[in-house]
Structure 1
Amino acid sequence: MKVYALVLLSVFLSKSCESQTKNDLKTAVLEYTANTRGFYQKITIQDQTVSVSKDRSGTDKPVATKISEKDWKELVGYFETINLDGLETLKAPTEKRFHDGAAIADLKVTYKDKTYKTTSFDHGYPPEAIKKLVVKINSFAKKE
């Protein structure tokens, strides 16, 4: 009887944790920004919608677009693998932004009333730990 109760409890807890991680991205806000002197792009993802702004001043309000279920599931999968506490310590793989060879980019995640932000990296060359997530985020800007 104890074994049965233990197995049942284990299944219940694993299902509980599984559903909790799928809701993680629903309560998070992802902001990817890339800019140089002549280029600006801000991609914001919140509650299964994406908005892309190319206006640095913020006066032009971007239109929010719903993310497809397939893309959302892929994004959730990438988000679940990210260590939020380690974002600020990620090293950029290239340094093209130092001589105008690439736009300066960063990723900011607001989750559970706490903000996590990467150090700057080259647009198009994110740190390996967040590469899949950043590539997916940028794919929404290409659809615009």
Structure 2
Amino acid sequence: GFTILLRGETLTEITRIQYVETSLAKSEKFLFENGKITFFKDGSLKGRAELTKKQKIAFSKIVKLINMDHLSTLAIPSKKFMFDGSAFGELKIVSAKKISSTPLFDVDNPPEEILELVRYLKNLAKGELT
């Protein structure tokens, strides 16, 4: 993991960040742990890569914008996945002190507070690993 100063908190050791997208047809998991990004599709490992120093710095800057205390209460812009079978996502951040996760949300319309982190994880995993 890495140690960062999160918004609204003291110095925090982030041990894992996990973003999962699920639909009726597929499942994708993007996992950051131990300085590595891992990408799974439909339960199968598709790739793993060590983040470069530059990527770690960029990633930590994005993560610092997240307030872990408010993840579970984020306003969800839309919930169409509940009615039309669209893909839904969930972001989970694990620190030495707690586990915080978002409510389920439409993957094409994530809460603004986590949008940059979700995009970075997906782009990093798919760009580096596929």
Which TM-score band (shorter chain)? 0.7 to 0.9
**Superposition RMSD in Å:** 2.3
Match of 2:87 in 1: 103
Given the two structures, how large is their TM-score scaled by the length of structure 2? 0.81
**Bigger CA drift: 72-81 or 134-143?**
134-143
Of 49, 54, 74, which residue of structure 1 is paired with 2:41?
54
Change (3 A) 1:114 1:120: same
> Which runs of 5 or more residues in structure 1 are unaligned?
1-18
Once the two structures are aligned, what percentage of the paired residues are identical? 25
> Which runs of 5 or more residues in structure 2 are unaligned?
none
Larger Rg computed on CA atoms? 1
Greater helix content: 1
CA contact (8 A) 1:53 1:61 kept: yes
Deviations 1:31-75, CA, capped at 9 Å, x for gaps:
10000111100110012210011133xxx4454211222222111
Match of 1:42 in 2: 29
CA contact (8 A) 2:24 2:85 kept: no
Q: Higher RCO, 1 or 2 (CA under 8 Å, sep at least 6)?
A: 2
Amino acid across the alignment from 1:76 = S
Distance 2:17 2:37 in 1: 9
How many positions carry a matched residue from both structures? 122
Given the two structures, how large is their TM-score scaled by the length of structure 1? 0.74
Of 110, 114, 125, which residue of structure 2 is paired with 1:130?
114
Q: Give the SS at the match of 1:71.
A: helix
Change (3 A) 1:127 1:114: same
